[in-house]
Amino acid sequence: MTTTTAPRGLTRRQLLSRATAAGAFVCGAGFVAGRDAAWATEMTAMTPESFATLVQMARDIYPHDRIPDANYVTAVKGYDTPEEADATEAGIAALDRRATDLKGSRYLDIGWERDRAEVLRSMADDAFFEKIRAGLVTGLYNQKAVWPIFGYEGESYSQGGYIDRGFDDIAWL
């Protein structure tokens, strides 16, 4: 996938002018960027609108306020391929229909996570929801970049384990 620190061809001001209610900006012309301009990604097969909705859906399934959007983008970028795009677009379309039925607007325009989660709960037995959720278990949590956010230290053998690095350093008991 491609993430860059600033989307090409648009200034931060231009980005802000295209703000939508939640999550990502759709920057038109085949790419999508984060609200804070911290990430942007070119679209291969999905529409930018649908991909932005998918990123928001991913965050609403596994909401971690300290994980930036870029990691959710990484987690779902695999659906933006010629093989996956049609099914994913169909799933997002169904999500927007359900959002409209229950909340009167498309998914991305629902302001509160609580209300978006209600939409997701109503679809939790659908194959599309389960596919996205299950994919996130590895797609999100197996990104080494998110581990420090949880304090997890990962590999330790190359540093000699923890025998001299605090395996028993708990001090509050």
Partner 1 sequence: MPAPFDLSDDSVVVIIGTGAGGGVLANELAQKGIGVVALEAGGRYLPEDYVNDEWESFGQLAWLDPRTTSGDWRVAKDFSGLPAWIVKAVGGTTTHWAGASLRFQPHEWKAATTYGALEGANLLDWPIDDKELAPWYARAEEKMKVTRTGGRAGLPGSNNYKVFETGAKALGYEEVHTGRMAINSDWYDDRPPCQQTGFCFQGCKWGAKWSTAYTDIPAGEATGNLEVREKAHVLRIEHGPDGKANGVVYAAEDGTEHKQMARIVCVAGNSIESPRLLLNSASSIYPEGMANSSGQVGRNYMRHLTGSVYGIFDKPVKMWRGTTMAGVVQDEARHDPSRGFVGGFELETLSLGLPFMAAFLDPGAWGREFTTALDSYENMAGMWIVGEDMPQESNRVTLSDTKDQFGMPVANVHYSDHQNDRAMRDYAYKVGMAMYDAVGATRTLPTPPYPSTHNLGTNRMSANPQDGVVNKWGQTHDIANLFVSDGSQFTTGAAENPTLTIVALAIRQADHIAGAMSKNEV
CA gap 63, 109 in Å, rounded: 17
Q: Residue 47 or 98: which CB sits closer to partner 1?
A: 98
Closest CA to 141 of 84, 85, 83, 58: 58
Q: Residue 42 or 113: which CB sits closer to partner 1?
A: 113
CA gap 11, 16 in Å, rounded: 9
> 98, 103, 131, 133: which one contacts partner 1 (CB under 8 A)?
133
125 binds partner 1 (CB under 8 A): no
The footprint of partner 1 on residues 38-97 (CB under 8 A) is 60-64, 66
Q: Residue 34 or 139: which CB sits closer to partner 1?
A: 139
Residue 40's CB: how many other CB atoms inside 10 A? 24
**Among 13-21, 70-78, 83-91, 152-160, the segment contacting partner 1 (CB under 8 A):** 152-160
131 binds partner 1 (CB under 8 A): no
Q: Residue 82 or 151: which CB sits closer to partner 1?
A: 151
Taking the complex as a whole, the smallest distance from the CB of residue 126 to partner 1 amounts, in Å, to 13
Taking the complex as a whole, the smallest distance from the CB of residue 138 to partner 1 amounts, in Å, to 6
Q: Which residues bind partner 1 (CB under 8 A)?
A: 60-64, 66, 117, 120, 133, 137-138, 140-142, 147, 150-158, 160-163, 165-170, 172-173
